[in-house]
Amino acid sequence: MMQQADPGLREDLMRQPWALWWLQAKRLTQIELRRNLFSWRASWIYFLAFIPTLIISIHSIVDPHDPTSISDDTQMLASIVHLYYIRLGVFFGCLGIFSRLIRGEMIERSLHFYLLSPVRREVLLLSKFAAGSATALLLFVTATLANVALIYLPFGAAGRDYLFNGPGIEQLEAYVLIIVLACLGYGAVFLLLSMMFKNPTPGALLFLGWEAINPVLPSMLQKLSVASYLRHLMPVNIGVKGLIALLTVETEPVAGWVATLGLLLLITAVLLYSCYRIRTLEIRYTTE
Amino acid sequence: MNDLIVFENVSKFYGEVLGVNRVSLTIPPGITTLVGPNGSGKTTLMNLLTGLVQPSSGSISVMGLSSRDANKFFATVGYCTQFDFFPRDITGWQFLVDSLMLYGMSKLTAIQLAEESLQRVQLDKTAAWRKIDGYSKGMRQKIRLAQAIAHRPRVIVLDEPLNGLDPMARAEAMALFEALGCQGIHLIISSHVLDEVDRIADRVVLITGGYLIAEGNIHQVRQEVREKPMQVLVRCDRPEALASKMFAMNHCVEARLHPDGKGIFLRTGDVDQFYSILNVIATEGIVKIEAVAPADDDANAIYQYLIGSDGGAL
């Protein structure tokens, strides 16, 4: 039976207009990128991404850099990524970017133009996700690169040596991977939440709470969290105490590739369910 | 591919609220007007046709296509909704070209079609370069219409397309609809004012309360309406005397005093005779008549004729 079904499925897949879908996806992504990046409404996301960069810049201007403090600054950078970007900056930035993609257009009553276009709804959703991801990555990865440069380059030769010949470059790669996965993970979740709830903010706050208590949950439930995967990818352990330590507890050490794959699987599952949701989405602006 | 739009026993409920109920309808090419009062189910019917909402039961086919096959379906169908909203910070031109580019056409073709479409709706190209946020209601209506027809669809669905247009723009729009209708395509127009669109329509579909109450050739439906008694409001100094005279001449089937007591609603089965008799009464000077006006020349009145005075005879 399977041998008979497979060629049929393959034939069916081959018949689909993949080239047209790809072209539509590229054009939709361009349109959405333009809206996401070049509007006044995006300004607070720029603020969220670059506020640490601004603070580091001010420090690098007013504080002279002692070469022996590289390890302190490395700790500070790790704290910024872990406690600010993952918990707040990327979280709320993605909430703003991804919940606007579908829900924002329903509130502005302009989503019907897309639903009346000759674009398959799954292609529409994935293109919007791609545009949102590109926006978030552009802002937060740029900010991370700028942060690294602003922290290490003022140390002069010692900073360059740490960055290019020491552990700096590996740490940078890990931070970029973490930011990329955080943007994709939070993005997928917020895109789905925005389709499920008229106001995704309470859902997002619940999700924030879930992410916060996740380290103390059973290991099965830990797999349903974005931050729990990211924690395992952190290249530098941050030594924090008190309540904040709860956010950084590592309850079950996991290999980096397992964490990456696990998060990618979670993102895929969330996107598949979002595709199902958009297939049945109806335009009823009067109830918005 | 057939050339019919077919609704088969279609119902749509929004929770417990009825959108449309058990609608079965076959629409051939030409101009079809959907007429009904506000909230009658016209927009639901159009949204169902274009896949913006899904039927609770029944099925819809547009020239053999389903809205689930978006690529083919929306290459065939164009829908100008009555939602007066657009993506923010976008020019009319950008709006048109962006929409066309999603059909997979080249930028050059998209630009040519956008220009053609702007010409058809008579919207100046320099106006199209401005942001839609600054458009008047009429201009927004035109750019929506331009977007709906730009890809040369074979089925055009227009929800209250004359709303917000000044008399000149209305005349231009009507001429455009007539021209589109002559091309053998489907043009489905909704309106709550029957007289506005019946001049150019081949067929009319009357709907109220989510129920289809009449459909067919426009002349047949109008004839059906004409055979029903018509109500006229006569403003005069002695409404009771006028009613008594009218009933004596056997030309009234119903009389109802106006709430202010300075007029009377008279229902007659022969409106031409009614006006002749009214002229005689006015000449006699028994009653001083100040004004006469049809009290039910709108769609609501037609529904009352067709479905009963309480609107709930179905």
The CATH number of the structural domain formed by B228-307 is 3.30.70
Mutation for testing the A interface, residue in B16, B52, B89 having most A CBs under 10 Å:
B52
B83: nearest CA in chain A? Answer: A109
**Chain A residue numbers touching B71 (CB-CB < 8 A):** 17, 20, 118-120
So what's the pLDDT on residue A288? 44
Min Cα–Cα distance to chain B from A208, Å: 30
State the Cα–Cα distance between residues B304 and B308, nearest whole angstrom: 5
Q: What is the pLDDT of residue B313?
A: 33
Alpha-helix residue ranges (DSSP H) falling in B34-91: 42-49, 70-76
CA distances for B273 relative to B5, B162, B234, angstroms: 42, 35, 15
CA A224 – CA B133 distance, rounded (Å): 42
Please tell me the number of Cα atoms within 13 Å of A53 on its side-chain side: 17
Say if residue B7's pLDDT is above 50: yes
Pairwise CA distance, residues A126 & A122, whole Å: 6
pLDDT tier at B250, thresholds 50, 70, 90 = low
Nearest CA in chain B to A30: B98
Is the pLDDT at B65 greater than 50, yes or no?
yes
B102–A24 CB contact, under 8 Å: yes
Cα angle, residue B49 at apex, residues B48 and B50 outer, rounded to 5°: 90
Report the relative pairing of strands B155-159 and B77-80 from DSSP bridges.
parallel
CB contact (8 A) between residue A116 and residue B101: no
Q: How far, rounded to the nearest angstrom, does the alpha carbon of residue A244 sit from its chain's CA centroid? A: 22
Q: Cβ separation of B71 and A17 shorter than 8 Å?
A: yes
Closest CB to B102: pick one of A39, A119, A287.
Answer: A119
Handedness of CA B171, B176, B177, B183 (dihedral sign): positive
pTM of the model: 0.80
CB contact under 8 A, A105 and B71: no
pLDDT value at residue B291: 82
Query: Quick one: how far is CA A143 from the chain centroid?
Result: 14
Q: What DSSP string runs through B236-275?
A: ES-HHHHHHHHHHTT--SEEEE-TTSSEEEEEES-HHHHH
B83/A116 CB distance under 8 A: no
Domain boundaries, chain B: 5-225, 228-307
A205 to chain B, closest Cα gap in Å: 27
Q: pLDDT band at residue B255, thresholds of 50, 70 and 90?
A: confident
Q: Could you tell me the residue range of the domain that residue A88 belongs to?
A: 23-35+42-287
Mention every residue, 6+ apart, whose C-beta is less than 8 A from residue B277.
B246, B249, B251
pLDDT-derived band at B304, boundaries 50, 70, 90 = low
Minimal Cβ distance to B71: which of A110, A115, A118: A118
pLDDT at B308 over 70: no
Q: How many beta-carbon pairs below 8 A join chains A and B?
A: 72
A134 in any annotated domain: yes
CA distance B194 to chain A (A): 25
- Phi, psi of B77, deg, nearest 5: -115, 140
**Helices A18-37 & A121-152 angle (0-180, nearest 10):** 50
Which stretch of A165-169, A189-193, B248-252, B271-275 has the lowest confidence by average pLDDT? Answer: B248-252
Contacts of B99 in chain A (CB under 8 A): 113, 117
| Residues sharing a CB contact under 8 Å with residue B258, sequence separation 6 or more, in sequence order | B233, B235, B239, B264, B265
pLDDT average, residue stretch B56-70: 93
Is B101–A27 a contact, with Cβ atoms under 8 angstroms apart?
Answer: yes
**Chain A residue closest in CA terms to B102:** A24
Q: Give the confidence band of B298 by pLDDT, cuts at 50, 70, 90.
A: low
CB B50 within 8 A of CB A115: no
Digit-coded pLDDT (tens) for B136-147: 888 898 999 999
Question: Which of A110, A117, A119 to mutate against chain B (most B CBs within 10 Å)?
Answer: A117
The pLDDT value recorded for residue B223 is 59
> Which chain A residues are within 8 Å of B70, Cβ to Cβ?
117-121
Identify the closest residue of chain B to A117 by CA–CA distance: B74
Could you tell me how far CA B222 lies from the centroid of its own chain?
A: 15
Q: What is the pLDDT of residues B222-237, one digit of tens each?
A: 556 666 677 788 888 8
Contacts of residue A143, Cβ cutoff 8 Å, sequence gap at least 6: A49, A50, A52, A53, A89
Phi and psi of B152, rounded to 5°? 55, 60
Residue with tokens 């990524």: A81
pLDDT at A249: 46
8 Å CB contact between B258 and B265: yes
- Cβ A112–B103 below 8 Å, yes or no? no
In this prediction, residue B153 carries a pLDDT of 95
Pairing relation of β-strands B30-35 and B203-208? parallel
Q: Is the alpha carbon torsion for A208, A213, A215, A219 positive or negative? A: negative
The predicted-structure confidence for B100-145, as pLDDT tens digits, reads as follows 999 999 999 999 999 999 999 989 888 999 999 999 888 898 999 9
pLDDT category at B302 given cuts 50, 70, 90 is low
Higher pLDDT pick, B307 / B119: B119
CB-closest option in A20, A110, A280 to B71: A20
Q: B14 vs A284: CB contact, 8 Å cut-off?
A: yes
Q: How far apart are the first and last CA of chain B?
A: 36
Residue A229: the pLDDT is 80
Band of residue B309 on the pLDDT scale cut at 50, 70, 90: very low
* A64-92 exposure pattern, b = at least 16 Cβ within 10 A, e = fewer: ebeeeebeebbbbbbbbbbbbbbbebbbb
Instruction: Pick B47's closest partner by Cβ from A39, A117, A283.
Output: A283
Q: Is residue A5 part of a domain?
A: no
**Per-residue pLDDT in tens (0 to 9) along chain A, 288 residues:** 444 556 777 787 778 889 999 999 999 999 999 988 888 888 899 999 999 999 999 888 887 666 667 888 888 899 999 889 988 899 999 999 999 999 988 888 889 999 999 999 999 999 999 999 999 999 999 999 999 999 988 888 888 888 888 888 999 999 999 999 999 999 999 999 999 988 888 888 888 888 888 777 777 777 778 877 887 788 887 765 555 555 554 555 667 788 888 889 999 999 999 999 999 888 876 644
Q: What is the Cα–Cα distance from B66 to B153, expressed in whole angstroms?
A: 15
Q: Quick one: pLDDT at residue B32?
A: 92
Residues of A with CB under 8 A from a CB of B: 17, 20, 23-24, 27-28, 31, 35, 39, 41, 105, 108-110, 112-113, 115-121, 280, 282-285, 287
**Nearest-CA distance B296 → chain A (Å):** 30
Identify the CA nearest to B242 among candidates B231, B227, B252, B228.
B252
CB A98 within 8 A of CB A270: no
Strands (E), chain B: 5-14, 17-27, 30-35, 57-62, 77-80, 155-159, 186-191, 203-208, 211-217, 230-236, 254-257, 263-268, 289-294
Q: Which residues of A44-56 are buried (b: 16+ CB within 10 A; e: fewer)?
A: ebeebbbebbeeb
| Domain B5-225 architecture | 3-Layer(aba) Sandwich (3.40)
Residue B26 DSSP label: E
A238 located within any domain: yes
A125: nearest Cα among A195, A224, A39:
A195
C-alpha A52/C-alpha A147 separation (Å) is: 7
User: Does the distance separating the beta carbons of A284 and B70 come in below 8 Å?
Assistant: no
Q: What angle do CA B97, A101, B81 make, to 5 degrees?
A: 55
Asked whether the predicted pLDDT for residue B312 surpasses 70, the reply is no
**What residues does B155 pair with on adjacent strands?**
B77, B186
Q: For chain A, how many structural domains are there in total?
A: 1
Q: Which residues of A touch B89 (CB under 8 A)?
A: 35, 39
Closest CA–CA distance from residue B87 to any residue of chain A (Å): 6
Residue B314: the pLDDT is 32
Higher pLDDT, B292 or A117: A117
- Chain B residues whose C-beta sits inside 8 Å of any chain A C-beta: 14, 47, 50-54, 70-75, 79, 81, 83, 85-89, 98-99, 101-104, 147
Chain A residues with CB under 8 Å of B53 CB are 282-284
Structure tokens at B173: 């729009």
Tokens of residue B109, six digits: 């073709």
The predicted model gives B180-195 an average pLDDT of 82
Separation of first and last alpha carbons in chain A: 47
Nearest partner of B194 among B172, B169, B226, B146, judged by Cα: B226
Dist CA B298 CA B263 (whole Å) = 20
Alpha helices per DSSP H over A80-167: 90-99, 105-107, 111-115, 121-152, 157-164
